[in-house]
Amino acid sequence: MRKKLYVLPALAIALVLALAAVPRAAFAEDGSDSSTSGSDSSSGSGGADSGDDNHNSGTTTDSPNRHAQEQAQEQLKKLQEQRSEAAKQRMEAAREKAKSSDDTETKKNEAFKKACDNRADNFKNRLENIGSRAQTQQQKIDAIVQRVTAFKESKNLDVANYDALLADVNAKKQVVADLVTATQQAGQNFTCGATSDEAKANLATFKDALQQQINAMKDYRTAVKNLIVAVKTAAEAANGGASNEQQ
C-alpha cells in the first residue's frame, strides 16, 4: 500500500514535467515558423524589389522609343500644317489671279468702249461714204451695161446665153443696190451702245457691211464683164462673116 502511495506522486511529477515541456516545444515550433515566414517575406520583398528593378529597366528601355515616336508625330503634324498652309496660299493666289484677270478684262472692255465712243462719228462717216462710193460705182457700171445692151441690139447680134448673162447682171445689180441702202442706213444709225459687248457687236456689223459691199460690187463687175465678153465675141463673129461675104 505504502509502495503505491510512493508511485502516485512520482507519476504526478512526471506528468507535470511533461506538460511543462509541451508549451516550450510549441514555442520553439512557433519561432521556427516565424523565422521561416520572415525568410519567405524577405524573399518576397526581394522578389518585389527584383520586379521593381525589371519594371524600371523596362521603363528606361521604352522611354527612348516613346520619345522618338512623339518626335515623329510632331514632325508629321508640322508637315501637315505646312501642306495645308501651302494649299491655302495657292488657293488665295488663284483667287487673286482670277480677280486681277477680271479687273484687267473690265479695264480692257472699258477702254474698248471709250475708244469706240471717241471714233463713233468716224465709223458713221465711213459707212456713209462707202455707201455713197458704192452707189457711184454702181451707176457707172449701169451705164456700161446700157451701152453694151444697146450695141447688141443695134448690131442685131446673136449672143450665146445672152438672156442668162443679162439676168445675172441684173441680179447682181440689185444686190449692190440693196447693200448700198443698208450701208448708208447703218452709217446714219451707228452707235457703240451702252456696253463694250454692244460696241463689239456693232463694230462687227460695221465690218461685215463693208465686206458684203466689197464682195457684192466685185460680183457685179464680174457679171458685167461676162456679158461684155459674150457680146464682143458675137460682134467679132459677125464681122468675120461679113468680111467673108464681101470677099
pLDDT digits (tens, 9 = 90+) for 233-245: 999 998 875 545 5
12: confidence class by pLDDT, cuts 50, 70, 90: low
Question: How does 4-38 read in b/e, with b if 16+ C-beta sit within 10 Å?
Answer: eeeeeeeeeeeeeeeeeeeeeeeeeeeeeeeeeee
Mean pLDDT of 170-196: 84
The tally of domains found in the chain comes to 2
Same domain, 240 and 209: yes
Are 181 and 99 in a shared domain?
Answer: no
For residue 206, being part of any structural domain is answered with yes
Answer whether residue 231 shows pLDDT above 80: yes
- Residue 102 lies in domain: 72-118
102 and 216 within one domain: no
Sequence-separated contacts (24+) of 83-87 with Cβ below 8 Å: none
pLDDT at 70: 81
88 with 151, same domain: the answer is: no
- Domain endpoint, select from 118, 142, 175: 118
Neighbours of 177 (CB within 10 A): 16
Residues 86 and 148 in one domain: no
In the listed set 94, 118, 142, which residue is the last one of a domain according to the structure? Answer: 118
Q: Are residues 161 and 238 in the same domain?
A: yes
Q: Which residue has the higher pLDDT, 80 or 244?
A: 80
> Is residue 43 situated within a structural domain?
no
Residues 136 and 228 in one domain: yes
Domain boundary among 118, 142, 176: 118
Q: Are residues 202 and 230 in the same domain?
A: yes
Task: Examine residue 60 and state whether it is found in any structural domain, yes or no.
Answer: no
**Taking a C-beta distance cutoff of 8 angstroms, is the pair 237, 160 a contact?**
no
Can you tell me the mean pLDDT for 105-132?
77
- Residue 81 in domain: yes
Query: Residue 3 pLDDT > 50, yes or no?
Result: no
Same domain? 130 vs 112: no
Q: Which residues contact 34 (CB under 8 A, 6 or more apart)?
A: none
**Three-point CA angle 63, 66, 68, nearest 5°:** 110
Residue 61 lies in a domain: no
Q: How confident is the model at residue 10 (pLDDT cuts 50, 70, 90)?
A: low
0.75 cut: is pTM over it? no
d(CA 143, CA 150) in angstroms, rounded, equals 11
The span from the CA of 101 to the CA of 106, in Å, is: 8
pLDDT at 227: 96
